[in-house]
Amino acid sequence: MAHPSSPSLGLLILFIGQAVAGPGPGPLPRADRASACQEHGALHHRLDAVEQRVVDTVGKLEAEVSLLLDTIEAPEWSPLLDTAEPTIDILDDKERS
């Protein structure tokens, strides 16, 4: 007695499953498609607005960081930042070995 091969059996089960499930959903009515397109467009518009706000915020933050770095590197702060003593890196694993 011959046994069906595994791919043939898989295809047979797939076809039976499709027949039991019935026809797939058809295309959406025109009004629903238009509504979906409007929602899609509105979503893109909101995403563009969020992207613009992120770009603006990053620009402001870059300006603030630049201002802070300029302030820290000013001559009146340099004596506090320059140390003659050796510094210890607490994150360096060589010290713990």
95 near 88, Cβ under 8 Å? yes
Residue 95 makes CB contacts below 8 A (sequence gap 6+) with 88, 89
In tens, the pLDDT along 7-44 reads 777 777 877 877 766 666 666 677 777 788 889 899 99
Query: What is the pTM (predicted TM-score) of this model?
Result: 0.46
In tens, the pLDDT along 41-76 reads 999 999 999 999 999 999 999 999 999 888 888 878
Residue 4 makes CB contacts below 8 A (sequence gap 6+) with 12
Q: What is the pLDDT of residue 1?
A: 45
DSSP string, 7-55: HHHHHHHHHHHHHHH-SPP-PPPHHHHHHHHHHHHHHHHHHHHHHHHHH
Query: From CA 45, how far away is CA 28, in angstroms rounded?
Result: 24
Q: What's the Cα-to-Cα distance from 48 to each of 38, 51, 52, 54, rounded to whole Å?
A: 15, 5, 6, 10
